[in-house]
């Protein structure tokens, strides 16, 4: 009888252990392939929510991959890549000294960029495996990604449930819809980190790309890329992209902010009402005729010109990625907002729902 009880107890224990293992097992790493009605294709993996490839036509109908990246999802795990194509969270950009105070409580985050916290910390959303599924929508094929970021992950408060939907629309748009809820007040700033080269990845630098940004002001930073608190007018500075200008036209000017950023690595204050979808930027590559519009509900957009790419990474086409071989247009709130009371808030309250939309739209001229 005692032996039967012991065997039963062991069986129950094994079932409980197995159930716990299943409950904590992460989903398998998967690559989803989407193709719209015009032949535009993208590959997205649930590892980091990374856009591995995005093939769009030029003016002659020739398709090229316009995002920097590697061949397989496993390549991103093995290489120390600079957030190529990934979902960034919980907080895109920097938080000074990895600290902020919320509701009178100071939170200490992982520090991974000098003395500061960058892009969600040591293991941000770009390095986790999301739960994914592919669906069809009226606008085109889509991938739904979900992730539970547990209370205390990388130092952040609250169990945060995040949902990101990538839709490849039949208007040749890569649409990104973000939503999230939390069971405790927290801070949140999600963004997407593709490096674009509209001539095709691996095809030279992006300095001749023409860029127009719908922003009268930008966010100056200190030597650690932390905002000074000023929102400076772009007029009369190398940051004036109100009319279409080559990215490289003024990038090497003797100007303090360009020197501090080693080029453009700054947030622009997008004109119009935050929360409403509006045109933030237009990038144009004249040899291919490719044009990319960026639409967003976010208050800001970071322009990063691949200043720290150094040729040590070899992309999916077998070509290295030297300095300024890609540029990023990361729609987001401003850096260090939790420590900057004058900036739009990034606090997500318990019971509230975070929502944000960004669209990368491709046309030819």
* CA 163 – CA 165 distance, rounded (Å): 7
Specify whether the CB–CB gap between 39 and 58 falls below 8 A.
Answer: no
The DSSP annotation for 147-179 comes to EEE-TTGGG--S-EEEEEEEEE-TTSEEEEEEE
Choose the catalytic residue: 193, 209, 266, 333. Answer: 193
* CA 184 – CA 150 distance, rounded (Å): 11
* CA 138 – CA 277 distance, rounded (Å): 20
Which residues have C-beta within 8 Å of that of residue 2, sequence separation ≥ 6?
A: none
> Is the torsion defined by CA of 73, 74, 75, 81 positive or negative?
positive
The answer to whether 330 is a known catalytic residue is yes
Choose the catalytic residue: 153, 285, 330, 333. Answer: 330
Greatest CA separation for the chain: 89
H helices present in the chain, as ranges: 2-24, 73-78, 256-261
What burial class does residue 70 get, using C-beta atoms within 10 Å of its C-beta: 0-12 exposed, 13-18 middle, 19+ buried? buried
* CA 37 – CA 335 distance, rounded (Å): 38
Tokens of 269: 């204050």
Degrees to nearest 5, angle at CA 279 with 277 and 282: 150
* CA 40 – CA 42 distance, rounded (Å): 7
* CA 158 – CA 175 distance, rounded (Å): 27
**DSSP state for residue 1 in the 8-state scheme:** -
**DSSP state for residue 105 in the 8-state scheme:** E
Task: Give the residue numbers marked as catalytic.
Answer: 193, 330
């Amino acid at each position: 009888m005692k032996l039967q009880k012991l065997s039963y107890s062991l069986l129950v224990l094994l079932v409980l252990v197995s159930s716990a293992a299943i409950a904590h097992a992460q989903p398998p790493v998967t690559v989803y392939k989407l193709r719209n009605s015009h032949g535009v294709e993208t590959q997205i993996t649930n590892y980091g929510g990374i856009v591995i490839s995005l093939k769009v036509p030029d003016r002659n109908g020739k398709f090229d991959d316009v995002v920097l990246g590697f061949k397989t999802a496993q390549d991103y795990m093995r290489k120390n890549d600079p957030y190529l194509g990934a979902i960034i969270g919980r907080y895109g950009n920097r938080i000074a000294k990895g600290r902020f105070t919320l509701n009178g409580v100071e939170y200490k985050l992982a520090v991974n960029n000098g003395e500061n916290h960058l892009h969600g910390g040591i293991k941000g959303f770009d390095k986790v495996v999301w739960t994914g599924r592919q669906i069809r929508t009226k606008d085109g094929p889509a991938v739904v990604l979900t992730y539970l970021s547990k209370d205390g992950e990388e130092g952040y408060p609250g169990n945060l449930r995040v949902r990101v939907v990538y839709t490849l629309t039949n208007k040749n748009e890569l649409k990104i819809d973000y939503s999230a809820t939390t069971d405790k007040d927290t801070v949140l700033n999600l963004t997407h980190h593709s490096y674009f080269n509209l001539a095709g990845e691996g095809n030279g630098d992006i300095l001749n790309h023409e860029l127009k940004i719908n922003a009268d002001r930008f966010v100056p930073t200190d030597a650690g890329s932390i905002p000074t608190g000023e929102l400076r007018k772009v007029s009369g500075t190398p940051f004036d992209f109100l009319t279409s200008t080559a990215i490289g036209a003024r990038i090497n000017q003797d100007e303090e902010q360009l020197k501090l950023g080693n080029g453009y690595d700054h947030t622009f204050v997008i004109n119009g009402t935050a929360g409403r979808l509006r045109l933030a930027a237009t990038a144009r590559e004249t040899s291919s005729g490719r044009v990319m519009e960026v639409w967003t509900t976010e208050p800001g957009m970071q322009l990063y010109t691949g200043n720290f790419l150094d040729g040590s990474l070899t992309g999916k086409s077998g070509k290295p990625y030297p300095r300024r071989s890609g540029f990023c247009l990361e729609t987001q709130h401003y850096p260090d907002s939790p420590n900057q009371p004058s900036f739009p808030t990034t606090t997500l309250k318990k019971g509230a729902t975070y929502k944000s939309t960004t669209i990368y739209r491709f046309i030819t001229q």
